[in-house]
Chains A and B, each alone.
Chain A
């Protein structure tokens, strides 16, 4: 089960979103997050929701998996929601309930709902990206996007290679960890009982062989890389090329439209349904 970590949450199906250029997907996620934070109206939030729904639909990932991703941030969500609810100030005439220093305003309720939805959408949007993109693709996407930084002498390629090797070795090291755990368990090691100090102590028989093995692997890998001409390489070329296709063009258009829409709603949103203005637009 642990062996699949290198694939992260990747959900292997063929879909529109899966086939998109990882760079576009990363930028789209950034645009989506920007839109979420720019949005000051529930109209804008609705637009973001439509974008999220489209992404989920066209990536063919199970909706339940996307919804479940919120579980990870559930407690933070509840915590901030409670704080917002009790401490968000508002106009005096909108005070609905108070007890000692705790006050609930109508603005507080609206803001809490808005804030919670925003966080929900944010987590779910990122999940769609990780479900539809392998870490390897993400990695090369990030590398390509960071390329301009080479101009200011940041070794982007070396960093990308580090990421690539890390991804490559995650399954290997996890397998190794599982094997060492099994071997020490077979020798009666107990990792599940005792107090915290006992448990930390119990990790030593796993940690030491694992570290030794990691260093041994690093040594061998360094030799193997040198033998493949890495050591004296001055000008490296790159085989992998990301290609921008029609799907990506559609993606770019969609997210450009999203940001524009959100901004327009911010400016003109109040005029759409003036009678519910106070409920739909944040100040």
Chain B
């Protein structure tokens, strides 16, 4: 930060009135052994009742900021006041925490009890409230997050979004004036994210609660009154979110991206349309329609969407028929995860699997490399007998290339070398002392007779493939790497056997916008150069729309649709009824229909803008 803006900020803090609930002046904080400070010279104030969002890439210091407010960390220099209390004063910390509650990222790691109401009671118990008062607060807090009916439930049986709402209720029960959300939506699926964001927005608007939302989802930041951007521990931008997003390219240098809607708006503006600041699909559709009207276009239609045809060999097709799977069979908690799934994936596809939590996606992909074996391949399988008057029982079948997974004699180990599987948050499976050893683990398991040199060559290739410098990282401990690097190492550890098919569960989960983009680019590179077929499971519809050649939507253990993403997303209303999201472009296109403007795109932002401009009669390069 330059000196003049620094001085201006300090000045602003001094003239601020007593309405400021949080004040940071020139705060510096470094973690032990860290080469650079996590926060350097941050000056910031938050007004009562304000909705502030703090945005920044992974490692930008935004979580540190949250912990400093609650006195979970103490600043090295500078001063932090919360409601007039000095946050570094140990005697005041309890008081501060009564007034500033914080919800963390992982809902699982915030709960102390196995029953929702007991967990919500934890905070009030610590303050020493009476039983009756605690009971009232639990009722109020659970109602505020819309979880009243789950009062007696076990949190471990709830969905991610529900768990996080319980965590919010646990903090609300303390009745704080300030609610801090430290990336509380990062691990949730779109539905869960929306649930939590709706609760938080309501608390801010209706209860007048001061909210500090720490996030790297730009679309969430749009909901705030004001946004602060952190980059490498420094406050680099501050202002209303719309104004911040005007700085476009500058944001990308901070490893952030524009909200998708702003990106589309800017792209259309390049072609001469007047759009301005928009937040909702309906708003942008209206603005687009106004532009069309201005040109006297009452009805417009873009050229139809023509899917590209690709021809490829069929040596590594995936074929799944009549697949059923029941968890906790014969127990009171039995749940049928898959109900007759039939699916065919041609070699060469970049295949997407979508579906909300619990739709059976993870169960399905675990069948692909026989982590879950078909019943026929089990030890004690007996063929079910045909009962009189009933059709013959149908047995599931899965074939992948030359492997028949219904056959006991199949070499499942060889299959696993040919079908690579990357689980969610794969960095949590790293264990070896050095990166090179960890990457070599799978290779050594699968190919016993390799020489040291052969292993080294393969590991080197694999690490280079994921975009890391072999010489630089090979002897490092995987735990010393950054989050994004760890994930790359974990992927390298799977592709080291050069599998023909690579399956990834939520490969971009938890990464910041730039990290997400980089991982998807990496997958395309792997698809082009190493793996014939790539299958990804994702919650992010835009990710599917812009990356996949084909996609399957799962719902309640069934394949609801399997088609080109554009064709699946064309059934927007049905998807919404299933609780699934659609890409933003589809939402805008739907809105435009009511204005007699028909845009047929492949659902990616680029193609949407191109088609929209084409219908507008403008030149996208103008």
Contacts and interface: CB of A to CB of B under 8 A. Distances in A.
Chains A and B belong together in one complex = yes
Interface of A: 1, 3-4, 6, 11-12, 134-136, 161, 164-165, 167-168, 171-172, 176, 179-180, 182-190, 204-205, 208-209, 212-213, 216-217, 220-221, 223-241
A229 B174 contact: yes
Contacts of B454: none
A180 B425 CA distance: 10
Interface in B142-201: 154-156, 167, 170-171, 174
A232 B123 CA distance: 12
Given A183-B423, A186-B494, A209-B428, 8 more contacts: A4-B328, A188-B445, A213-B428, A226-B72, A227-B70, A229-B98, A233-B125, A239-B135
A227 B97 contact: yes
A220 B104 contact: yes
B441 A233 contact: no
B413 A188 contact: yes
- The 8 A-B residue pairs whose C-beta atoms are closest, nearest first, are A188-B445, A187-B442, A232-B94, A239-B121, A186-B421, A208-B431, A224-B110, A233-B126
A229 B494 contact: no
Interface in B388-434: 413, 416-417, 420-421, 423-424, 426, 428-432
Contacts of B121: 239-240
Nearest to B120: A239
Interface stretch (B111-119, B223-231, B599-607): B111-119
Contact of A231 (B94, B113, B413, B497): B94
B384 interface: no
A140 B68 CA distance: 35
Interface of B: 67, 70, 72, 93-94, 97-98, 101-102, 104-106, 108-115, 117-118, 121-131, 134-135, 138, 154-156, 167, 170-171, 174, 327-329, 331-333, 366, 369, 371, 413, 416-417, 420-421, 423-424, 426, 428-432, 441-442, 445-446, 479, 493-494, 497
A230 B445 contact: no
Nearest to A238: B125
B131 A209 contact: no
A167 B511 CA distance: 31
A86 B238 CA distance: 87
A103 to B, nearest CB: 45
A12 B332 contact: yes
B331 A1 contact: yes
Given A187-B493, A188-B446, A240 B118 contact: yes
Nearest to A11: B332
B116 to A, nearest CB: 11
21 contacts: A1-B328, A6-B114, A12-B332, A168-B155, A171-B156, A172-B108, A172-B156, A180-B429, A184-B441, A185-B416, A186-B420, A190-B445, A204-B431, A209-B428, A209-B431, A212-B428, A220-B104, A229-B174, A232-B94, A235-B128, A240-B121
B110 A189 contact: no
Nearest to A161: B112
A240 B117 CA distance: 9
Contact of A223 (B94, B104, B114, B117): B104
A220 to B, nearest CB: 4
Contact of A164 (B113, B333, B420): B113
Contacts of B110: 220-221, 224
B129, B138, B369, B371: most-surrounded residue (chain A CB, <10 A): B371
A220 B366 CA distance: 30
A230 B70 CA distance: 13
Given A217-B108, A221-B110, A186 B423 contact: yes
Contacts of B118: 136, 164, 239-240
A135 to B, nearest CB: 8
Contacts of A228: 97, 101, 122-123, 126, 170-171, 174
A6 B156 contact: yes
B109 A220 contact: yes
Nearest to B123: A228
Contacts of B114: 6, 134-136, 164, 167-168
B332 A168 contact: no
Contacts of B423: 179, 182-183, 186
B441 A205 contact: yes
A171 B111 CA distance: 13
A236 B108 contact: no
A168 B112 contact: yes
B126 A1 contact: no
A213 B421 CA distance: 21
A185 B329 CA distance: 23
B429 to A, nearest CB: 4
A225 B138 CA distance: 17
A80 to B, nearest CB: 32
Contact of B97 (A1, A161, A212, A226): A226
Nearest to A211: B431
B413 A233 contact: no
Contacts of B113: 136, 164, 168
A229 B171 CA distance: 10
A221 B170 CA distance: 13
A96 B602 CA distance: 92
B122, B134, B369: most-surrounded residue (chain A CB, <10 A): B122
A6 B328 CA distance: 14
B420 to A, nearest CB: 7
A224 B426 CA distance: 25
B328 A180 contact: no
Nearest to B121: A239
Contacts of A183: 421, 423, 426, 429
B94 A205 contact: no
Contacts of A176: 428
Nearest to A185: B371
A231 B331 CA distance: 40
A227 B131 contact: no
Contacts of A235: 128
A4 B331 contact: yes
A172, A179, A232: most-surrounded residue (chain B CB, <10 A): A232
A231 B71 CA distance: 11
Contact of A182 (B94, B167, B371): B371
A208 B130 CA distance: 43
Nearest to B429: A183
B526 to A, nearest CB: 16
A204 B174 CA distance: 42
A220 B417 CA distance: 36
B429 A209 contact: yes
Given A164-B114, A183-B426, A228-B174, A237 B129 contact: yes
Nearest to B328: A1
B104 A224 contact: yes
B122 to A, nearest CB: 6
B139 to A, nearest CB: 12
B559 to A, nearest CB: 23
A165 B125 contact: no
Nearest to B330: A1
